[in-house]
Structure formats: C-alpha cells, structure tokens
Structure 1
C-alpha cells in the first residue's frame, strides 16, 4: 500500500491581520500564559477578545 503525504490548503478565509499596541506588562503576561497553556499568544488574545465581546455591557 502506498502512503501519500497529503497537504491541503490552509483555510484562513475568516482571519485577518490586525496590529495593535499594548503595554509591555500585558504582553509579558500573555507570553507567560502561552507558555503555561501550550497555546499561542495569538490564540489567547483571540479568546480574550471573544470573551470580552460576549460579556460586554454598556452602562448609560
């Protein structure tokens, strides 16, 4: 039986590149969390942004 190495295109249709400026301390905390969680800093920031949107409450 022949085994093939199959590579499919990565589906990044729904993702965009966005540049933001954050405080050094915040970046260091995300780096630490990334190391502890075995997730990328980008994944953690996306999770935090989604959580913030889902739990957002505007006060008058």
Structure 2
C-alpha cells in the first residue's frame, strides 16, 4: 500500500469558446494566404487579430461631451 498511485482527474476549465462568424471573401482569401505563408493555424491568426484589435480599439459612441 505504500506505493499506491492515484490517477486524479479534475474538472476541465474552458479558456475558450466556439463562435461562428461570417467574413468577407477578400478577408478570407487574405487570411488563407497568411496561413500558408506563416505555417500558423487559421484559429491562431484570427485570435491574434481579434486580441490586437480589442487591445488597440478606441470606441466612439458618437456622443459629444
């Protein structure tokens, strides 16, 4: 009983979600070209682009102060 090993399973935590979006054909074509050139996955490039856009976004609600 001294060397009894345990196989411990913990609940999986989701760090991502699945979404479906429609993009313009030109954007898709440019993305696919970058996928081929970079060797990175479509998913990785889309995530990087979204993160960059959100981190650098300036929202203008159209209301004047």
TM category (shorter chain) comes to 0.7 to 0.9
Could you state the TM-score of these two structures normalised by the residue count of structure 1?
0.74
Query: May I ask how many residue pairs the two structures share in their alignment?
Result: 50
* Runs of 4+ with >4 A deviation: none
Structure 1 gap ranges (5+): 1-10
In the TM superposition, residue 15 of structure 1 has moved relative to its aligned partner by 1.1
What's the counterpart of residue 13 of structure 1?
A: 14
Return the index of the structure with the highest Cα Rg.
2
Could you state the TM-score of these two structures normalised by the residue count of structure 2?
0.69
Relative contact order, higher structure (CA 8 A, sep 6+): 1
Distance 1:18 1:12, change over 3 A: farther
